[in-house]
Amino acid sequence: MVILRAAVCAALFLISAMVQTVLAQDVTLTSPDGTVEISGDLLGFDGEFYRVQTLYGELTVDGSGVLCDGPACPNLTDYVARLTFSGSETMGRLLVPALIQAFADRQGYRVTRTQPNTNELVLTLEDAANARFVGVLTILLANTDQGFTDLLANDADIVMAQREMRPRERSDAMLAGLGDMQDARRGRVLALDGLVPVVAQDNPVAKISTPKLAAILTGRITNWSDLGGPDAPITLHLRNESAGIWQVVVDRLLRPAGGTLTEGALRHISDQALGKAVAQDPFGLGLISASAAGANKTLGLTGACGFSLLADRLSLKTEDYPLSAPMFLYLPARRLPKLGRDFIRFTRSDAAQLVIRRAGLTDQAPEEIAIRDQGDRFANAIAQAGPEVGLKALQTMVSDLSDRKRLSLSFRFEAGSARLDAQSRSNVALLAQALEAGQYDARDLLFAGFSDGNGGAAANQRIAEKRAGAVLLAVKQAAETANLEQLTLNARGFGEALPMACDDSAWGRQVNRRVEVWVH
- Helical (H) or strand (E) element with 168: helix 167-175
Predicted TM-score of the model (pTM) = 0.81
What is the Cα–Cα distance from 269 to 291, expressed in whole angstroms? 16
What is the Cα–Cα distance from 139 to 143, expressed in whole angstroms? 12
| 172 phi/psi in degrees, rounded to 5 | -65, -40
Local confidence pLDDT in tens for the 520 residues of the chain: 444 444 445 444 444 444 444 444 689 999 988 899 999 998 888 888 888 999 888 888 988 889 999 988 887 777 899 999 999 998 999 999 999 999 999 999 999 999 999 999 999 999 988 888 999 999 999 999 999 999 999 999 999 999 888 889 999 999 988 988 888 788 889 999 999 999 999 999 999 998 899 999 999 999 999 999 999 999 999 999 888 889 889 988 898 888 899 999 999 998 999 999 999 999 999 999 999 998 999 999 887 676 778 898 888 998 888 898 999 999 998 888 899 999 999 999 999 999 999 999 999 989 998 887 776 677 666 666 556 666 677 778 888 888 899 999 999 988 777 788 888 998 999 999 999 999 999 999 999 999 887 888 888 889 999 999 999 999 999 999 999 999 999 999 988 888 877 777 777 788 889 999 999 9
Determine the pLDDT at residue 10.
46
Determine the pLDDT at residue 173.
93
Inter-axis angle of helices 422-436 and 457-478, nearest 10: 50
Structural domains of the chain in order of their starting residue, each with its CATH number:
2-69 (2.30.30.100), 81-190+328-356 (3.40.190.10), 195-317 (3.40.190.10), 366-519 (3.30.1330.60)
3-class state of residue 412 by DSSP: strand
3-class state of residue 41 by DSSP: strand
Largest CA distance in the chain: 85
Q: In what order do the strands lie in the sheet with 308-309?
A: 207-209, 300-302, 308-309
**Of 339, 343, 267, 291, residue with least CA distance to 93:** 291
Determine the pLDDT at residue 174.
92
CB 363 within 8 A of CB 357: yes
SS3 track for 201-266: CCCCCCEEEHHHHHHHHHCCCCEHHHHCCCCCECEEEEECCCCHHHHHHHHHHHHHHCCCCCCCCE
What is the Cα–Cα distance from 424 to 39, expressed in whole angstroms? 44
**Of 122, 176, 186, 182, residue with least CA distance to 154:** 176
What is the Cα–Cα distance from 476 to 486, expressed in whole angstroms? 13
| 260 phi/psi in degrees, rounded to 5 | -120, 160
The alpha carbon of residue 9 and the mean position of all alpha carbons in its chain are separated, in whole angstroms, by: 32
**Of 469, 346, 455, residue with least CA distance to 411:** 469
CB 445 within 8 A of CB 488: yes
Neighbours of 438 (CB within 10 A): 12
CB 200 within 8 A of CB 280: yes
CB 27 within 8 A of CB 72: yes
What is the Cα–Cα distance from 24 to 27, expressed in whole angstroms? 9
CB 362 within 8 A of CB 423: no
What is the Cα–Cα distance from 314 to 227, expressed in whole angstroms? 27
Cα end-to-end span (Å), the chain: 57
What is the Cα–Cα distance from 492 to 495, expressed in whole angstroms? 9
What is the Cα–Cα distance from 220 to 124, expressed in whole angstroms? 52
CB 500 within 8 A of CB 307: yes
